[in-house]
């Protein structure tokens, strides 16, 4: 047959199977994770919180331990009373502040002890040469006699009962605490301490857990049995108790002590997980191949087995970090945390407790920070589990 009898059709390439670049395990996982909106949001939030804690304090005007005696217990929003074109804020403990129209604090008015009329509840403050009179006797009246305000402010005969406007506190966006420290800076600093504790404790736990678990799992037999009995015993002690005991034993707080206490117990669950992975992985052919080629035991464990168990390990890390943040804040809350003037979110929450009814904002911000961090890490963890769990893979 001659070639003329054939007509070549143009190649369109349509029939060719579309060749996709083959993805590695991690590229595939990343592709999945990226589709998970909540997880991506979690990652963004975590990055923001890390930035907030690391470089944030450089942008505030105060350091975490600066105490400004004039400005104690100031809320993040200021109610301003207008008198004679000027604006005043009256704090819950009856200090009067002169405030600019945009919410920047200018000064605290001087209260002459002689003009502090405790019986009639009328204080007279000095603003330069002028007198500002604060009359807060209304709360003394039975049922306040129908008045719907708590105090009046008087300057040059002009009286103001109702706030003219509410402005954000420009100088202290999160307010100040009972010692006059800027809460924004302190929450930033708290982020630094809380995350530092969480990350270091998690890394140490990871290291101990992975080494312990992989040795137990790979060796098997008697070694495994003994090592796992030890884990069982540690696991049957309520861990929080043990951490508290350790903290008592260390005689008080301190950053290093907390980290040591946290990292000495929480590796147990990691060890169990890694052991389980090792038990199934070590039966696979590639391990046999490596062994046949005479690869040393430690190299098999660290080069071949652990990288293959990385998926579940990473998921468990993502869950470990928030629980470390949680435990740390719990410890700080019962007074076993970092020592003053250092602060973690737990200490900040603990400090806010005494003045809660009057200054609730002092608890609000650290609590919000803890909740945000927990939420973000939980979302990341959930997303990672979906992305790395081979059981959920389709096709």
| Residue 329: CB minimum distance to other proteins, A | 6
Cβ-based nearer residue to other proteins, 139 or 296? 139
Classify 374 in phi/psi space as left (phi over 0), alpha (psi -120 to 50) or beta.
alpha
Contacts with 208 (C-beta within 8 Å, 6 or more apart), sequence order:
263, 267, 270, 271
Asked if 241 is part of the footprint of other proteins (rule: CB under 8 A), the reply reads yes
Residue from 27, 280, 356, 393 touching other proteins (CB under 8 A): that is 356
Residue from 44, 47, 226, 245 touching other proteins (CB under 8 A): that is 245
Q: Which stretch binds other proteins (CB under 8 A): 62-70, 97-105, 242-250, 272-280?
A: 242-250
Residue from 21, 142, 146, 238 touching other proteins (CB under 8 A): that is 238
3-state secondary structure of 378: helix
DSSP state of 150: S
| Residue 240: CB minimum distance to other proteins, A | 7
3-state secondary structure of 159: strand
Cβ-based nearer residue to other proteins, 287 or 349? 349
Asked if 40 is part of the footprint of other proteins (rule: CB under 8 A), the reply reads no
**How many of the chain's residues bind other proteins (CB under 8 A)?**
32
Instruction: Check: CB of residue 155 under 8 Å from CB of residue 83.
Output: yes
Asked if 233 is part of the footprint of other proteins (rule: CB under 8 A), the reply reads yes
Q: How many CB atoms lie within 10 A of CB 177?
A: 23
Q: How many CB atoms lie within 10 A of CB 106?
A: 12
Q: Which stretch binds other proteins (CB under 8 A): 178-186, 243-251, 285-293, 298-306?
A: 243-251
Phi, psi of 20 (to 5 degrees): -95, 145
Asked if 371 is part of the footprint of other proteins (rule: CB under 8 A), the reply reads yes
Phi, psi of 196 (to 5 degrees): -60, -50
Instruction: Check: CB of residue 371 under 8 Å from CB of residue 379.
Output: no
Q: Which stretch binds other proteins (CB under 8 A): 71-79, 162-170, 273-281, 323-331?
A: 323-331
Helix (H) or strand (E) segment spanning residue 344: none
β-pairing verdict for 96-99 and 86-90: antiparallel
Closest CA to 174 of 163, 188, 164: 188
Classify 52 in phi/psi space as left (phi over 0), alpha (psi -120 to 50) or beta.
alpha
Q: Which stretch binds other proteins (CB under 8 A): 213-221, 246-254, 257-265, 275-283?
A: 246-254
β-pairing verdict for 158-160 and 86-90: unpaired
Residue from 106, 110, 240, 288 touching other proteins (CB under 8 A): that is 240
Cβ-based nearer residue to other proteins, 23 or 237? 237
Q: Which stretch binds other proteins (CB under 8 A): 22-30, 49-57, 229-237, 297-305?
A: 229-237
Residue from 171, 188, 336, 343 touching other proteins (CB under 8 A): that is 336
Residue from 3, 222, 251, 394 touching other proteins (CB under 8 A): that is 251
Asked if 363 is part of the footprint of other proteins (rule: CB under 8 A), the reply reads yes
CA distance 364 to 349: 8
Residue 125 pairs in a beta bridge with 111, 132
- Our measurement of the distance from residue 378's CA atom to the centroid of its chain's CA atoms, rounded to an integer in Å, reads 12
| Residue 334: CB minimum distance to other proteins, A | 5
Asked if 357 is part of the footprint of other proteins (rule: CB under 8 A), the reply reads yes
Instruction: Map residues 167-186 to x or -, x wherever contact with other proteins holds by CB under 8 A.
Output: --------------------
Q: What is the DSSP string of 284-295?
A: SHHHHHHHHTT-
| Residue 147: CB minimum distance to other proteins, A | 20
DSSP state of 304: I
Cβ-based nearer residue to other proteins, 185 or 329? 329
Binding site for other proteins (CB under 8 A): 232-233, 236-238, 240-241, 244-246, 248-249, 251, 326, 329-330, 333-336, 349, 353, 356-357, 360, 363, 367, 370-371, 374-375, 378
């Amino acid at each position: 047959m001659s070639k003329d009898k054939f007509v070549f059709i143009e190649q369109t390439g349509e029939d060719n199977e579309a060749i996709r670049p083959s993805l590695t395990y991690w590229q595939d996982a990343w592709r999945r994770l990226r589709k998970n909106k909540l997880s991506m949001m979690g990652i963004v939030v975590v990055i923001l919180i890390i930035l907030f804690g690391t470089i944030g304090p450089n942008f505030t005007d105060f350091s975490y331990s600066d105490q400004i005696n004039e400005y104690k217990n100031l809320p993040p929003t200021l109610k301003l009373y207008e008198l004679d074109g000027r604006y005043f804020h009256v704090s819950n403990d009856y200090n009067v502040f002169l405030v600019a129209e945009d919410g920047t604090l200018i000064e605290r008015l001087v209260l002459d002890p002689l003009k502090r009329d405790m019986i009639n509840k009328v204080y007279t403050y000095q603003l330069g040469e002028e007198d500002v009179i604060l009359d807060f006797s209304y709360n003394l009246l039975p049922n306040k006699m129908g008045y719907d305000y708590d105090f009046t402010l008087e300057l040059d005969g002009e009286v103001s009962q109702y706030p003219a406007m509410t402005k954000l506190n420009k100088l202290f966006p999160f307010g100040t605490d009972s010692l006059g420290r800027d809460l924004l800076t302190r929450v930033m600093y708290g982020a630094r301490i809380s995350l530092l504790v969480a990350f270091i404790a998690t890394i140490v736990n990871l290291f101990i857990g992975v080494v312990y678990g992989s040795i137990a799992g790979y060796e098997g037999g008697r070694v495994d049995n003994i090592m796992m009995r030890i884990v069982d015993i540690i696991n049957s002690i309520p861990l929080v108790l043990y951490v508290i005991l350790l903290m008592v034993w260390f005689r008080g707080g301190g950053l290093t002590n907390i980290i040591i206490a946290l990292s000495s117990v929480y590796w147990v669950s990691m060890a169990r997980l890694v052991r389980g992975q090792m038990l199934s992985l070590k039966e696979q052919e590639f391990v046999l191949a490596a062994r046949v080629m005479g690869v040393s035991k430690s190299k098999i464990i660290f080069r071949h087995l652990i990288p293959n168990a990385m998926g579940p390990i990473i998921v468990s890390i993502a869950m470990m970090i928030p629980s470390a943040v949680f435990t740390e804040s719990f410890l700080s809350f019962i007074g076993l945390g970092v020592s003053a003037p250092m602060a973690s979110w737990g200490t900040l929450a603990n400090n806010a407790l005494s003045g809660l009814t009057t200054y609730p904002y002092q608890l609000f911000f650290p609590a919000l920070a803890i909740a945000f961090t927990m939420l973000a890490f939980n979302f990341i963890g959930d997303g990672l589990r979906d992305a790395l769990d081979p059981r959920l893979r389709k096709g």
